Structure 1
Amino acid sequence: MRAMQVGMVAVALESAGGSARATVVGADAAEASAPNAPRPGQVSLHTVVPGTPGRTTARTTAGMGNGAARNFSFAACQAQLADDPDGTRDYADDWQDHGGGAEAEYCGALADMALGDVGDAAATLDRLSRVAHWPQGWVAPSRHPPSPPVPSPSVPSRAVTASRGDITPQPAGVVGGGQQNGTQAGIQDGTQAGPHDTPESLRHRAHVAEEAARAWQANDSPRQALDSATYGLWLDPHDMTLRVIHARLCVDMGMAQQAVADLTPLPGDTALRVDALVTRAAANRALGHIDLAATDIAAALQLSPHNVAAELECGILHERQGRMEDARADWQQVIALAPDSHEADLARQDLSLLEADPAAP
């Protein structure tokens, strides 16, 4: 049996408020990161939170003459993140020292992610997703996927383990991310939807849980990633981006039947639908439903003819059907379309295995 190459959820610090979230669910080259868009009229949580232990940074204090407090904002955090993640990290620490609370921590977590400290970012984002009632006036992120430099969806190569059972979104009391070590001073333990949560704050928390899931997966922590995605779906069961992420994680962890359930019905958005079709095809393949998987891949390639994740999965299905030359052509197409991608690496591995043992599916 061929070795399985497990796809991983890509970490994307996504843009919101009019631009969309990256919804790809695979691993590839590193991407540029962008946080949530400014939130007009937002009110920060004015709970003082200690800075990150052990971190020593030079704090920028421009504009703070005569002890006057700086005017901190998430918009300012966002504005400098892409160009200066180190400076953004310092800004977040300074903001925390001046009572920034959960929003300052969120800013810092996004900076950590941009700097590659995905483990720290994941733990913080997971905990913040459990803080009840984020500021009123926050605008929920758009559900239309953008086209940033984000890793493309990857598909488990060759074989996927059999389903081990279902997992469903659990109540908010479930501890996710494996990092619930208590709350920091002054921040409410948000392991339940608080009495003041609004539909907007619940969507906001679900979005933060999604970012936590991406960060956990980038940190090679699939169980914590699944916990965060499951919690996010409890907060917002209609978030289709989270549903696709949850399904991909289920495929990777051998819970293919749950992945199929997650993606039935499919999302309406075209780009997200392609990701969902590729993921559901991988799940059906794992369940031995090759014809259903082939139908989904054909639909994905019709919507996105040069989607490398779909081409990779198409090759795997052709191999399973004994169509070795078609499989070889599919994998060569993946390499031609995106030679530096994660999918191309998997295609090269599959081609090597095919050359070594042409008769083995």
Structure 2
Amino acid sequence: MTSMKLKAGLTAFALSVLLLPPVLAEAREEGEEYKSCIKLTRTQPELAFESALSWRDQGGGFPARHCAALALIGMKKYHIAAPRLEKLAQDMRESGSPLVVPTLSQAANTWLLAGDYPRANAVATAALEIEPDNTDLLVDRGRILAEAENYQDAFNDFDLALRLDPSRSDALTFRAAAWRQLGDNIRAMEDVELALSLQPDLVDALVERGILHRLAGNDDQARQDWLKVLEYAPHTPAGDTARSNLEKLDVRK
């Protein structure tokens, strides 16, 4: 009745990574134009794309190209956006830009959204070769590996991220789901409880704890967790998962 895959919240998390403050938001003359373009990607991505291409042709450089890629993501054209971000990262590296790794991270997450897990993994690994102790990248690659159902390697990335930064509630949640997939629900519950002690309203952790409660036969506690998800974030992938699990729980009664 509940999904046994480590996928609850993964798409939402990937999207949140892509919607972080833009990787090119530096102090520069093009700053205001860039900010306006990025803002437009979230409301009118088609218009943002056309605007970014025009700006690029007028010498907009990396900021214009980045905005065009994010506009494609806004249009859900992930297979087109991802290689653009990869090429952008390559050109940035050749120019000595310090923004190569954030751009590779976005490319990896876009390949994840596209469902191309091998390519997503390859790009995340390339970024980790540049910054091997980057906890964000480790969590990114762990999520990608989990989507590909490679739970042991996913666990290893989450575990390393937590050794570098034990306060990462997101990594604790993902490691909990990996523990569950690897057959250790006790340690999974320990991780998810710790995640919720650090961030009580973390909806992915509430979804995961609800799954663990359901597997243990604690339907009432599972229901409480999933209802909290609907209270905190009803119109999100985590909310959809909680709603689906609640409906299945009611059917079983």
Fold shared by both chains (TM-score > 0.5): yes
The whole-number CA distance in structure 2 between the counterparts of 1:325 and 1:207 is: 42
The whole-number CA distance in structure 2 between the counterparts of 1:97 and 1:214 is: 27
The corresponding residue for 1:252 is 147
The corresponding residue for 1:89 is 49
How far apart are residue 26 of structure 1 and its match?
5.2
- For these two proteins, the number of residue pairs brought into alignment is 245
Select which of 13, 19, 30 maps to 1:25. 13
How far apart are residue 339 of structure 1 and its match?
2.0
The whole-number CA distance in structure 1 between the counterparts of 2:25 and 2:202 is: 32
Please give the residue correspondences for 1:181-200 in structure 2 after superposition, counting only pairs within 5 Å: 200=98
Select which of 321, 327, 330 maps to 2:225. 330
The corresponding residue for 1:125 is 85
If asked which structure has higher relative contact order (CA below 8 Å, sep 6+), I would say 1
The whole-number CA distance in structure 1 between the counterparts of 2:14 and 2:63 is: 28
The whole-number CA distance in structure 2 between the counterparts of 1:78 and 1:96 is: 11
Q: Any unmatched runs of 5+ in structure 1?
A: 11-23, 42-72, 139-199
The corresponding residue for 1:109 is 69
Against the structure 1 CA distance between its residues 205 and 356, is the aligned structure 2 distance closer, same or farther, given a 3 Å change threshold? same
Against the structure 1 CA distance between its residues 35 and 349, is the aligned structure 2 distance closer, same or farther, given a 3 Å change threshold? same
Against the structure 1 CA distance between its residues 87 and 269, is the aligned structure 2 distance closer, same or farther, given a 3 Å change threshold? farther
TM-score (norm 2): 0.81
Against the structure 1 CA distance between its residues 74 and 106, is the aligned structure 2 distance closer, same or farther, given a 3 Å change threshold? farther
The whole-number CA distance in structure 2 between the counterparts of 1:92 and 1:337 is: 35
Please give the residue correspondences for 1:162-311 in structure 2 after superposition, counting only pairs within 5 Å: 200=98, 204-265=99-160, 266=162, 267-268=164-165, 270=167, 273-311=168-206
The corresponding residue for 1:148 is none
Q: Any unmatched runs of 5+ in structure 2?
A: none
Against the structure 1 CA distance between its residues 277 and 288, is the aligned structure 2 distance closer, same or farther, given a 3 Å change threshold? same
TM-score (norm 1): 0.59
> Given residue 34 of structure 2, which amino acid in structure 1 is its aligned partner?
Q
The corresponding residue for 1:353 is 248
The whole-number CA distance in structure 1 between the counterparts of 2:185 and 2:215 is: 8
Percentage identity across paired residues of the two chains: 29
> For structure 1, which segment, 103-112 or 327-336, has the greater mean C-alpha deviation from structure 2 after superposition?
103-112
The corresponding residue for 1:70 is none
Q: Which runs of 4+ in 1 moved over 6 A?
A: none
The whole-number CA distance in structure 2 between the counterparts of 1:78 and 1:101 is: 11
> Given residue 322 of structure 1, which amino acid in structure 2 is its aligned partner?
G
How far apart are residue 95 of structure 1 and its match?
4.5
RMSD, aligned CA: 3.0
Q: Which structure would you say has the larger Rg?
A: 1
> Given residue 242 of structure 1, which amino acid in structure 2 is its aligned partner?
L
The whole-number CA distance in structure 2 between the counterparts of 1:128 and 1:233 is: 17
